Amino acid sequence: MKINAIKYDTTLKQGSSAVHRDPQNLKEKERAGLCGKNNEDKTKFGGNFTGKSEVAASAIKNSKIKDKIFNSKSYNWLLKFAEEHNVAGSALMALFLAGAVRPATILALPGKKDKEDKIYASGHSMASGIIGFAASTIITSPWDQGVANIMDNYKKHYDKKIENVLAGKDINEGVPELKYKFKLLDKKYERLIELKKMAADKASKIETKALLNQIDTIKLYMKNVTDWAIAIPRSILTIALIPPILKYVFGVQKKSKAAPEPTVQEQPKNTLKMVSRMDGFMNKLNSKADGGSK
């Protein structure tokens, strides 16, 4: 028989914060059941903090592990993040590999002799991954947002215009306002409208496709140039911040390999000390012997 002693006020009027009013321990939650409310929670709480499975069931017959991954929220979030933030996405991959997988592999490599080196290399790798991700995310995320603002605004504006052209309506009817001035995009989209007005022959189709490709390329170029721009300051920052991060966050410090051997100049000092100690000892012995004779 198992007796669980708990100490809870069954009146539940302690007035603690709304979040921590109930027993927080999962075991207690499952077993205590002292009030009705508690039991209600138990039916909702399935051991997973999210309350429901993170991975949605796949609609595909004979679904495999990859289908479960493809339906997971985190994977879908990752895809969206990779598309929206190219530079930060790359830094996220680097964070995962340099911050977790590489240190684990380096530490698992055989060789007891260079253990200190391996610890230092692992700390170095983790620090560089973290700094790279932090710098990339802080700098490039607002930039990506700015690029997205321009491109989305232009797309919405001109898509509506094209829609009006194709429907034979007034071209400016219900068109969202253009908030930004970007002559290059104006030129490309205006050409697209002209092509839509023309008969849909093969040449116009090819040109339309080329224009859409170019607009996509402009977006990718504007997003990724930041990686080139921040490459140098980021590497300088990484080099500068690695030693303090290693020291204060990971508690790792590069030590010199061999202990310093006594130098040639130090040897006479040591010898002199020894000689003086020996002299003192001999003097004491002599004085004792003299006293004895007295």
Partner 1 sequence: MNVTLNTFSQNLQYNRVANSNNKRQYTAPSFAGSAEQVAESVAKQSKFGKRILKKGTELFDQTGEWFAQKVIPKVFDNTVTDKFSDKVKNCDNLFSHFLAVGSAITSGMYMYKTLTNDKMDKDRRNTLAVNQFLTFALSTAGAYMLDKSLANWWQNMTVRYASNQCNDENLNLVKEFKAEVEKAKAENVEIKKANDALKAAAKAEGRKIAKEELQDLKSVKADKFLRKRIGDYVADPKQLELLNKKIKGMGLLKTMLVFALVYRYIVPVAVTKPANILCDKYLAHKKEKEAQKA
Given the structure tokens 């215009």, which residue do they identify? 161
Contact flag: residue 240 with partner 1 (CB under 8 A): no
Is residue 146 near partner 1 by the rule CB under 8 A?
yes
Tell whether residue 271 is a contact of partner 1 (CB under 8 A).
no
User: Contact between 102 and partner 1 (CB under 8 A)?
Assistant: yes
- The number of residues that bind partner 1 (CB under 8 A) is 104
State yes or no: residue 70 binds partner 1 (CB under 8 A). Answer: yes
Query: In whole angstroms, how close is the CB of 4 to partner 1 at the nearest point?
Result: 5
CB of 245 to partner 1, least distance (A): 17
> Taking the complex as a whole, how short is the minimal distance between the CB of residue 200 and partner 1, in angstroms?
16
CB-nearer residue toward partner 1: 66 or 277: 66
Exactly one of 134, 165, 178, 222 binds partner 1 (CB under 8 A); that residue is 222
Question: Which letter does DSSP use for residue 14 in this model?
Answer: S
- Toward partner 1, which CB reaches closer, 64 or 284? 64
Distance between first and last Cα of the chain = 88
Q: How many residues does the chain have?
A: 294
129 makes contact with partner 1 (CB under 8 A): yes
Q: Residue 170 Cβ, how far from partner 1 at the closest point, in Å? A: 22
Beta-carbon contacts of 96 under 8 Å, excluding residues fewer than 6 positions away, are 129
Q: Which of 65, 109, 167, 199 binds partner 1 (CB under 8 A)?
A: 109
Q: Establish if 227 lies at the interface with partner 1 (CB under 8 A).
A: yes
- In order of 8, 31, 139, the CA distances from 5 in angstroms are 10, 11, 53
Closer CB to partner 1, 115 or 284, in the complex: 115
Strand partners, 72: 55
Question: What letter would DSSP give residue 177?
Answer: P
Instruction: Report the nearest approach of partner 1 to the CB of residue 82 (Å).
Output: 4
Q: Please tell me the distance from the alpha carbon of residue 214 to that of residue 155, in angstroms, as a whole number.
A: 13
Q: State the burial class of residue 91 (Cβ atoms within 10 Å of its Cβ: 0-12, 13-18, 19+).
A: buried
Binding of partner 1 by 117 (CB under 8 A): yes
Q: How far is the CB of 261 from partner 1 (least distance, A)?
A: 12
Work out the number of other CB atoms within 10 angstroms of the CB of residue 161: 22
Q: Does 86 bind partner 1 (CB under 8 A)?
A: yes
Beta carbons of 81 and 92 less than 8 angstroms apart: yes
Choose which of 166, 171, 184, 249 interacts with partner 1 (CB under 8 A).
184
Does 51 sit near partner 1 (CB under 8 A)? Answer: yes
Our finding on whether 40 is near partner 1 (CB under 8 A) is yes
Closest CB to partner 1 among 34 and 193?
A: 34
Among 65-73, 163-171, 247-255, 279-287, which window interacts with partner 1 (CB under 8 A)?
Answer: 65-73
Quickly list DSSP for 54-108.
SBPPP-STT--HHHHHHHBHHHHHHHHHHHH-HHHHHHHHHHHIIIIIHHHHHHH
Report the alpha-carbon distance of residue 42 to residue 51 in Å, rounded: 11
Question: Which is nearer to partner 1, 70 or 250 (by Cβ)?
Answer: 70
Assign residue 113 a region (left: φ > 0; alpha: ψ between -120 and 50; beta: otherwise): alpha
Does the protein bind partner 1 through residue 74 (CB under 8 A)? no
Residue the block writes with tokens 């932090």:
134
